[in-house]
Amino acid sequence: MQANLGFDPNAMWQVQAIQKTQIDGVNKVIVFVGDKTGKQQPYRFAFFTTPDQKHIIVGDRIVPFGDRPFADYRALIQQRANGPFRGSPSKDLELVEFADFQCPHCKAAQANMDKLVADFPKAHIVFQNDPLVSIHPQSVTAAAYGLCVAKQAGSTAFFQFASAVFDGQDGLGTPDGATLTLNSAATKAGLDPAKVAACAAAPETKAAVESSVQLSKDLDISSVPTLVINGRQVPANAPYDTLKQIIQYQEKMDGIAE
């Protein structure tokens, strides 16, 4: 609980019960959570611990738990998050944004991401594609274009491209509109849109997008935009002060020097 809630100095919690279940090694834990100011109505939080003591079951999700609950996801991110990045090449503090170019909430989260780049210059801040093709049909094409922009001209060009795509997000509503929007964004990033389009259509580019989506699945990311902070998942469009507070707390937990 300290690892998950300790970033908020006003948070309070009390374990009310630890109950054995009919499954060996699985216990039900009941916790009451509130805050020191009294402004938040205390609420009851129940979950099941798994036999490995490293996970809990909350509803239909299995969530990392324990004194270092994010270590396994952190290692996975360090190995496989290979999107374009801003900031430091060091991965001591790694912030990975999983986003979909056609997602309005992802567009709104870009203001937070820009602030994080300014406030955490020692962070390695990665953009990782996570297109939700079932509701955003043009998101996969946008992701492919972005990968090719980064491949042909590097991370700086990618973030120029990404900014232009998010600014023109309404144009992604139709296939023709997406082509115009993505070609325009590639041009603004200083690239030949025909070359970017050809790269985007290549099988290896499709495979790279699918690999990024698989990483999201392996991390059990359930929505976008999600920001993974050294393995810890938070909504990237959360209030900025909360994001900053969580990052600073995670730095302390991971022993990262200021």
User: Quick check: is 247 in a domain?
Assistant: no
Query: Is 0.75 topped by the overall pTM?
Result: yes
Q: Are residues 49 and 95 in the same domain?
A: no
Residues 36 and 98 in one domain: no
**Rounded average pLDDT over 8-31:** 94
* Token pair for 252: 């302390």
User: What dihedral do alpha carbons 200, 205, 211, 217 form, nearest 10°?
Assistant: 20
Whether 85 and 203 map to the same domain: the answer is yes
Residues in Cβ contact with 197 at an 8 Å cutoff, skipping those fewer than 6 apart: 145, 179, 182, 183, 186
Mean predicted confidence (pLDDT) in 45-74? 91
DSSP H helices, 137-174, are 139-167
Give residue 143's pLDDT.
98
123 shares a domain with 57: no
195-244 pLDDT, tens digit each: 999 999 999 999 999 999 999 999 999 999 999 999 999 999 999 999 99
In this structure, is residue 139 part of a structural domain?
Answer: yes
* pLDDT (average), residues 136-142: 97
Q: Read off the pLDDT of each residue in 30-56 and give the average, rounded to a whole number.
A: 91
Are β-strands 61-64 and 85-87 bridged in parallel, bridged antiparallel, or unpaired? unpaired
Count up the domains in the chain and report the number: 2
pLDDT band at 66 (very low <50, low <70, confident <90, very high): confident
Residue 251 included in any domain: no
- Tell me if 244 is assigned to some domain: no
Q: How far is CA 114 from the centre of its chain?
A: 15
Look at residue 191 in the predicted model and tell me its pLDDT. Answer: 98
pLDDT in tens, 162-198: 999 999 999 999 999 999 999 999 999 999 999 999 9
Give the mean model confidence (pLDDT) for residues 90-112: 98
| CB neighbour list of residue 243: distance below 8 Å, 6 or more residues apart | 112, 116, 227, 234, 236
* pLDDT of 258 strictly over 70: no
Residue 252 falls inside a structural domain: no
Instruction: Give me the count of residues in the chain.
Output: 258
Q: How far apart are CA 170 and CA 206, in angstroms?
A: 23
Residue 111 structural domain: 72-232
Q: What is the CA radius of gyration of the chain?
A: 20
Q: Is 180 inside any structural domain?
A: yes
